[in-house]
């Protein structure tokens, strides 16, 4: 609806009743303490209709049903370094939709860098890591 105010049914019906009684947009806006643009918008939307109930919204079906989401999570956990783009092509959705679905389904994923750092330290051992870091810093500053 943009920048316009979202009004409840009572406020919308007051606008339409005042319009039907012959008031112009400026008078209605002044009486109801609203902007003329807001009054004009609701008269344009509901002026020709009898009721001012909330219009039904066009709701699209979810891309990820619980079964598809579970399948996505399983594949993602087996192959965490697969690009999101691959999943978006497979599930015919945008990368942002896949990213948000994974974020909701796997809220505490282990960051890849932390996980890889721990594996690296286990393979090299703590003393070798320190020596490697000291050696690297000496070579950088020399």
- Total domains in the fold of the chain: 2
The mean pLDDT of the chain is 76
Tell me what percent of the residues of the chain surpass a pLDDT of 90. Answer: 16
Rounded to 5 degrees, what are φ and ψ at 83? -60, 145
Same domain, 73 and 51: no
Decide if 133 is inside a domain.
Answer: no
Find the domain containing 86 and state its range. 60-127
Decide if 114 is inside a domain.
Answer: yes
Decide if 132 is inside a domain.
Answer: no
Same domain, 19 and 73: no
88-122 pLDDT, tens digit each: 999 889 999 999 898 888 866 555 667 667 766 77
Q: What share of the chain is helix, strand, coil (3-state, %, to 5)?
A: 65, 0, 35
Same domain, 50 and 64: no
Residue 15 has pLDDT above 80, yes or no: yes
Decide if 134 is inside a domain.
Answer: no
Structure tokens, 48: 């020709």
* Of 27 and 53, more confident: 27
Q: What is the pLDDT of residue 56?
A: 64
Dihedral (CA of 128, 129, 130, 134) sign: positive
The per-type count for the chain, helices as H runs and strands as E runs, is: 8, 0
Decide if 42 is inside a domain.
Answer: yes
Same domain, 22 and 65: no
Task: Please answer whether residues 98 and 88 qualify as being in contact, where contact means their C-beta atoms are separated by less than 8 angstroms.
Answer: yes
Check residue 3 and report its DSSP letter: T
Burial of 43 (0-12, 13-18, 19+ CB in 10 A): middle
* Element holding 56 (H helix, E strand): none
Q: What is the pLDDT of residue 139?
A: 46
Task: Please answer whether residues 34 and 66 qualify as being in contact, where contact means their C-beta atoms are separated by less than 8 angstroms.
Answer: no
Same domain, 3 and 43: yes
Using alpha carbons only, what angle is made at residue 114 by residues 111 and 116, rounded to the nearest 5 degrees? 105
Question: Can you tell me the mean pLDDT for 128-139?
Answer: 54
Domain boundary among 13, 28, 56: 56
Same domain, 22 and 66: no
Residue 137 has pLDDT above 60, yes or no: no
Same domain, 26 and 73: no
Question: Can you tell me the mean pLDDT for 76-97?
Answer: 88
CATH number at 47 reads 1.10.10.10
Same domain, 69 and 26: no
């Amino acid at each position: 609806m943009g920048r316009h105010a979202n009004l409840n049914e009572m406020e919308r019906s007051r606008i339409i009743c005042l319009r039907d009684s012959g008031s112009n947009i400026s008078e209605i806006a002044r009486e109801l303490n609203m902007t003329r643009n807001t009054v004009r918008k609701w008269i344009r939307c509901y002026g020709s209709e009898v009721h001012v109930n909330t219009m039904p919204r066009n709701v699209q079906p979810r891309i990820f049903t619980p079964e598809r989401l579970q399948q996505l999570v399983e594949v993602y956990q087996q192959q965490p370094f697969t690009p999101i783009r691959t999943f978006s092509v497979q599930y015919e959705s945008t990368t942002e939709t896949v990213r948000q679905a994974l974020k909701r389904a796997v809220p505490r994923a282990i960051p890849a860098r932390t996980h890889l750092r721990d594996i690296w330290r286990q393979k090299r051992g703590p003393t070798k890591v320190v020596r490697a870091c000291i050696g690297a810093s000496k070579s950088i500053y020399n």
